[in-house]
Amino acid sequence: MIHADASHHRVVVVGAGFSGLASAITLAQQGHDVTVVEKHAIAGGRARVFEADGYRFDMGPSWYWMPDVIETFFQSAGTSVSEHFDLIRLDPSYRVWYADGPVNVPAGLEAVRDLFEEMEPGSSRSFDAFMKEAREKYELGMDEYVWKTGHSVSEFANPMNVVRSFGLSMFGSLSRHVKAFFSSERIQQLLEFPVLFLGSRAAQSPALYSLMNHADIALGTWYPVGGMYELVRALEKIATTSGVKFQFDTEVLEIMDDGRKVTNVRTSAGTMECDSVIAAADYNFVEQQLLHPKWRRYSAEYWDSRQMSPGALIYYLGLDTRVPELEHHNLYFDVPFNAHADKIYSEPGWPEEPLFYAAAPSKTDDNVAPEGHENLFILVPLAAGLADNREAQDDIWENILDRLSETSGIPIRDHIVYRREYTHANFEVDYNAFKGNAYGLANTLNQTAFLKPKMRSKLPGLFFAGQLTTPGPGVPPSLISGSVAAREANEWLTSLPKRKEAASS
């Protein structure tokens, strides 16, 4: 049995992803004794990093959006982003490849307005109106909605918020909302694609999420020099400085209770006493595998009925040449958009002509590839629960190589010197990801806010954080989720009698 040396309340955080790190930092700075238990050898969760043959690959998130939210968290922890790493605003923000060639999406409202005017003459006034509403939704969401626990609808019934949302399109579909402003199919795709980060498609997402267009166009796309893992390093450093302890290479086997509240966490390294637990691992896995059945709020049938975000087929590639035609972020929309989306959401299956995303961070950062080489991260969104299929995966691989070679003018196959594939099965094994999901629950209207799985467990003292609870998928939302879960846990802990100092045994 592991005993804490201090008289503070003891908290175990399960998982060292963004939400786990955020909750650990917050609770430690509130005076609690916090230990993070992580099954992998390093922090980061889906945002881990690995190095091979001179290349450094971020394994998961590659878009640094909503820098205001990240900066707010750092400041709440008594520091700032600039004290830990440098940020570069990308311009263009990203390149979109269509069947007849690429379009660069530039940085800044004025430049994007000009681009849209080229695509749809006379659209400037619509653009201004659309972006004004997107900004108002973003400000309302960031000021109020994302910081709610989602325990009940009453949290969202503040009269002032109702007044602020008056006149805003909130509950119709995002797709319908975009079409009300623009007739250009390309503009529609550009404005709808950010909800992919929320694990959904525009036809099923509420119009509230046009707030993501403010994040994309107004706030911009940024890059932390050294890669996305620099954000993880910074959070781990803040946590350690705040007194958080880490146990890596340790799996949680059971969350134990005395019939009334959480009491212990049993791990592969032993059993730890605790007063509270933050479960920042996969919600389904924690409830279905680590808890006594009487504490499970949701049944297996409930989880099977949920619409999950897409899974992902990922390739990490090292090339022995540069690819001038690629930008840092590249979206390949050169095949029918809806045909692939249907294979994710309507008729789960393997797409014949996949949409895909290619990141080339070596365009911006010389630290991630040998000189004269290119670092490529390629992601194909797939239906959650779609089991690995070697033949289908090989077909997708060949299709992607053909299109990369055609658009770049370079025989990509001939220049691959490093390749690693990451599949549905890897997500399940590495992250206990339900149905191999990459982003959590899809942010559909009936899976938003108080309709998400609850942050507060039926087991007193246990709280959930991460992409399967509020506010949802993404790096900034995960930081918010960890902060809100920590707030809930702190309220619980302050209601308990203070522990007497215990000697280690």
pLDDT number for residue 152: 53
- Both 469 and 375 in one domain: the answer is no
Indicate whether 478 belongs to any domain: yes
Helix intervals (H) in 286-331: 300-305
CATH code of the domain containing 139 = 1.10.405
Structural domain boundaries, residue 361: 48-106+310-383+389-422
Q: How many CB atoms lie within 10 A of CB 430?
A: 15
pTM for the model stands at: 0.93
Contacts of 430 (CB under 8 A, 6+ apart): 40
Indicate whether 340 belongs to any domain: yes
Indicate whether 233 belongs to any domain: no
Split into its structural domains, the chain has a count of 3
pLDDT number for residue 1: 34
341 three-class SS: helix
Going by the DSSP 8-state scheme, the letter that residue 290 receives in this structure is: I
- Both 480 and 409 in one domain: the answer is no
CB 474 within 8 A of CB 198: yes
Indicate whether 177 belongs to any domain: yes
Preceding amide of 348 cis, omega within 30: no
**Distance from CA of residue 226 to its chain's centroid?**
19
Alpha carbon distance, N-terminus to C-terminus of the chain: 8
pLDDT number for residue 194: 80
CATH code of the domain containing 469 = 3.50.50.60
pLDDT number for residue 4: 40
Indicate whether 453 belongs to any domain: yes
Indicate whether 73 belongs to any domain: yes
130/214 Cα distance (integer angstroms): 10
Indicate whether 428 belongs to any domain: no
- Both 99 and 113 in one domain: the answer is no
Q: Which amino acid is at 32?
A: H
- Both 448 and 480 in one domain: the answer is yes
Output the tens digit of pLDDT for each of the chain's 505 residues: 333 433 479 999 999 999 999 999 999 999 999 999 999 999 999 999 999 999 999 999 999 999 999 999 999 999 999 999 999 999 999 999 999 999 999 999 999 999 999 999 999 999 999 999 999 999 988 877 776 665 555 545 554 454 455 456 667 889 999 999 999 999 999 999 887 656 677 888 888 889 999 999 999 999 999 999 999 999 999 999 999 999 999 999 999 999 999 999 999 999 999 999 999 999 999 999 999 999 999 999 999 998 888 999 999 999 999 999 999 999 999 998 889 989 998 899 999 999 999 999 999 999 999 999 999 999 999 999 999 999 999 999 999 999 999 999 999 999 999 999 999 999 999 999 999 999 888 777 676 666 678 999 999 999 999 988 888 888 999 999 999 999 999 999 998 887 665 434 3
- Both 373 and 446 in one domain: the answer is no
- Both 22 and 125 in one domain: the answer is no
**Distance from CA of residue 418 to its chain's centroid?**
26
- Both 113 and 196 in one domain: the answer is yes
**For the chain, what's the residue count?**
505
> In whole angstroms, how far apart are CA 351 and each of 185, 335, 347, 391?
21, 11, 10, 12
pLDDT number for residue 159: 45
- Both 68 and 93 in one domain: the answer is yes
